[in-house]
A and B are shown apart, each in its own frame.
Chain A
Amino acid sequence: MNKTPREDLLEDLKDIEFAKLYGAEDAKLDFAITLLKARENANLTQKEFAAKLGISQPYIARLESGEANPTLGTIGSVLATLGLRLVTNTASLTPEPELPVTNLADSAADNEIANQVEDFLRQDQEKVYGNSTCGYISQKPSEQRHIAEPLSAYDIGERDIIGGVVA
């Protein structure tokens, strides 16, 4: 029987040094997803949000991809700009997964998710080909209002991103 990534992770987590590294990554990603959702709920682009905060857009991008390591104070400042506050709590490092999304094509219960998936995949295609076959769309990821996916076409590679800091 083949192992799943989760089973491999659980095995690795028995090593406390690995668990510490994993915990740090997990916390950054957890905040990243929270921030992404909060910003989108506020209907702000990364650029607009950065301007509101007085920090650079690349730093917002790093926060939302879980690559920045903000202080608790920075997190508080960022959330306050959206009228939110940080709520801390603890939970199991590896909670039991929820029921999986099953066969999207067959399950009526998953219809909404299936539609969302089709929308996402169509958006991907439009980003590459436009609405016809005339090349890339012109809108930069940082200016997209909802799904601000950086495409490889805009990918700036591995250059260092100089992020701003919330005072």
Chain B
Amino acid sequence: MWPVEYYTRPDGSQPAREWISEQDGSIRASIYARIETLGKEGLILRGNGILVSIIPKRKKKDKFIPGFYELKHRGKKWRLATYFDRKEGRFILLRGWRKHSRIQIEDVDKARELLEEYLVTKEE
């Protein structure tokens, strides 16, 4: 079993949880089903397109971060940025969004900022 948690910001907010709670029942059901499966199967989901590495589109500016993934549902068009903390063996849900365009640099950037915040906060 792979623990899955929401990321809690220093101000106490949980962007992933807040986003999930705003979704309608059908989307929320698909999100929770994937989160549960992530908890059961872990990184094996890399093999079927449910858990996909987030690859920097601007390679000069952004570095590839191992463990930085998006949990996704193509048909329902949602993405949930997730970080696998290899040291703690757990997944951290950072933030989610509905995919409306092919490239989602802004959404990914926001998730990257949250990840950086998580990593810094963890160090302290």
Residues of A within 8 A of B (CB): 2-6, 8-9, 12, 15, 17-18, 21-22, 24-26, 28-29, 32-33, 36-37, 40, 61, 64-67, 94, 97-105, 110, 113-114, 116-118, 120-122, 124-125, 127-129, 141, 146-153, 155, 157-158
Complex Cα gap A118–B34 (Å): 23
Complex Cα gap A147–B51 (Å): 12
Residues of B within 8 A of A (CB): 1-6, 8, 14, 17, 20-21, 25-26, 28-30, 32-37, 39-44, 46-55, 57, 64, 66-67, 73-75, 77, 84, 86-90, 93, 99, 102
Complex Cα gap A28–B17 (Å): 24
Q: A103-B89, A104-B86, A124-B66 are in contact. Are A22 and B48 (CB under 8 A)?
A: no
Of chain B, the residue at the smallest CB distance from A28 is B33
Chain B residue numbers with a CB within 8 Å of A67 are 73-75
Q: Tell me which of A26, A124, A150 contacts B49 (CB under 8 A).
A: A150
Q: Tell me which of A2, A100, A116, A120 contacts B3 (CB under 8 A).
A: A100
Q: A4-B5, A8-B32, A25-B30 are in contact. Are A117 and B86 (CB under 8 A)?
A: yes
